[in-house]
Amino acid sequence: MKIAARFLPVAALVAAATIIAGAQAKAPRTSWGTPDLQGVWNTNTFVPVERAPQYGTRAMMTEEEHAKALADLQERNKRPGRDSREVAGKPAIGTEKDVARAYNEFWFGDKPTKLSYRTSMVIDPPDGRIPPLTPEAAKRIADKREFLAALLQGTSGGHPGPISPRRAERSPDYNLDRINRADGPEDRGGPERCFGNGMPVVMGTGTFGGVMQLVQSSDSVSLYYDIGQGSGFAWVAPITNRPHLPKYVQLYRGDPIGRWEGDTLVVDVTNFSDETDFRGSRENLHLVMRFKRVDANTLSVQFTADDPTTWAKPWTAVQELEKADEKTTQILEPGCHEGNYGLMGMLINTRAAEKAFREGKGPDPATQDNATGGGDN
């Protein structure tokens, strides 16, 4: 049936409304009218954080590029896991490395088999790479690396040489790394002290990649990240007009404040402390996160990271999370600190090793690599 010309604008409007209504049906909404961000979310699709140079400023791969990258991924998947107890293909039994490694593919397993068409998580700057470090940040990181290397000097995991006198020094920063020393809990770094992950979370794939549960009301958005070995945590972004806490108040996962901008939940996070480290950024980190329900099965989590004392300019990355089946993907209890016999064990046994050395019954613990576990002696 031919539609008279004068009805076309209205027909277009109605058609547009129908299309909009259709798109809204795919991304669900809450009963109070905002997009519904809720669910249990994880990802089984691999995306590199930074873009390989061959893609230039392109955010998406071509079909051909994707097929090749997928083949490369499958090749990489065949290699032993990063925690392999093997050296040159053979078990390295009775070595420090054998003691140190605990896990095979069973634990890290589920190597990603899906590959995103995204060339990188980083979408700004346009080259898909994190901006360079500022000179002060580069120095900070170099100083720390020097200190770590000094503590490994003369061990199987470090440069040859005498035991460094720097073993008597305090770490140049608030130590979050595993260093080759166990004088006290501070030497064991964040993960071994069960500090828990900080924000933002870039989720991995597979069993060890973690899951995130999001519960939402008109008041707040409550995230629970179940990641790592019990280093999960809860994080609540209130949807409010209140200002941030005073600048000197430093919180481990910052002070999040949320607001809706159209269909995107924008969460502004400041007030971080020096006890978390996000790729070199500590207390001066400013995050702007953007949560968007793309469709029924996809939640886009984007963040812009800004820290003029660390990066030359701000940068933005995005991760598309996939909806998981709640019946089979449970949120498990965190609890790392409660069961952290390892931290006690390291202190107790280092004291025992020191005592044995004093009594002439064992090697000097300073000559052992108790940091990387990668010694080949």
Partner 1 sequence: MRNYLITMMAAVVVAAGATPAGAHHAFAAEFDAKQPVKFEKAVVTKVEWTNPHSWIHVDVTMPDGHKEAWAIEAGTPNVLFRRGFTKQALLPGTAIVIDGYRAKDGSHRANGRNLTLPGGQTLFLGSSGTGAPEEKR
Partner 2 sequence: MVTRSIWRGGMVAAAAVVLALAVSSLRTTEDSSTRSARMADGRPNLNGTWQVMNTANWDLLAHTVRPAVSQPGVYENHPVLAAPVLALGSTGLVPAGPGVVEGNEIPYKPEAAAMKRENGEHWLDRDPEVRCYMPGVPRAMYMPYPFQITQSPGKIQMVFAYANASRTIFLEEAPRPPADKWMGHSVGHWEGNTLVVHVTDFNDRTWLSRSGDFHSDALDVVERFTPITPDALRYEVTLTDPNVYTHPWKMSMVLYRQLEDNAALMDFRCLEFVEETFLGHLRKNQLVKHWEGDTIVLDVTRRVPEGDKKYER
| Interacting residues toward partner 1 by CB under 8 A | 80, 82-85, 87-88, 90-96, 98-107, 157, 178, 182, 188, 191-192, 194, 207-208, 226, 228-231, 329-330, 332, 334-336, 338-342, 345-346, 348-353, 356, 362, 365, 368-377
CB 46 within 8 A of CB 70: no
169 binds partner 2 (CB under 8 A): no
Separation CA 231–CA 203 (nearest Å): 13
Which among 87, 92, 97, 95 is positioned nearest to 374, based on CA atoms?
Answer: 97
| Residue from the set 56, 172, 339, 363 that interacts with partner 2 by CB under 8 A | 339
29 binds partner 2 (CB under 8 A): yes
Min CB(201)–partner 1 separation in Å: 15
333 binds partner 2 (CB under 8 A): yes
Where does this chain touch partner 2 (CB under 8 A) — which range of 49-57, 68-76, 79-87, 238-246? Answer: 238-246
Separation CA 272–CA 250 (nearest Å): 5
- Give residues with Cβ within 8 angstroms of 292, minimum separation 6: 35, 263, 264, 265, 299, 300, 302
Separation CA 227–CA 209 (nearest Å): 7
41 binds partner 2 (CB under 8 A): no
Question: What track of x and - describes contact with partner 2 for positions 297 through 326 (by CB under 8 A)?
Answer: -----------------------------x
213 touches which of partner 2, partner 1, none (CB within 5 to 8 A by kind)?
A: partner 2
Pick out residues in 265-304 that bind partner 2 (CB under 8 A): 275
The residue (of 42 and 119) whose beta carbon lies closer to partner 1 is: 42
Min CB(230)–partner 1 separation in Å: 2
Min CB(216)–partner 2 separation in Å: 6
Min CB(239)–partner 1 separation in Å: 31
7 touches which of partner 2, partner 1, none (CB within 5 to 8 A by kind)?
A: partner 2
Separation CA 32–CA 137 (nearest Å): 45
218 to 112, 192, 240, 242, 268: CA distances (angstroms): 36, 37, 10, 15, 17
Separation CA 54–CA 343 (nearest Å): 44
Measured in degrees and rounded to the nearest 5, phi and psi for residue 307 equal -155, 95
Q: What is the largest CA-CA distance in the chain?
A: 102
Question: What track of x and - describes contact with partner 2 for positions 127 through 166 (by CB under 8 A)?
Answer: ----------------------------------------
Separation CA 29–CA 32 (nearest Å): 8
The residue (of 92 and 346) whose beta carbon lies closer to partner 2 is: 346
**Token match 């120095």: residue?**
139
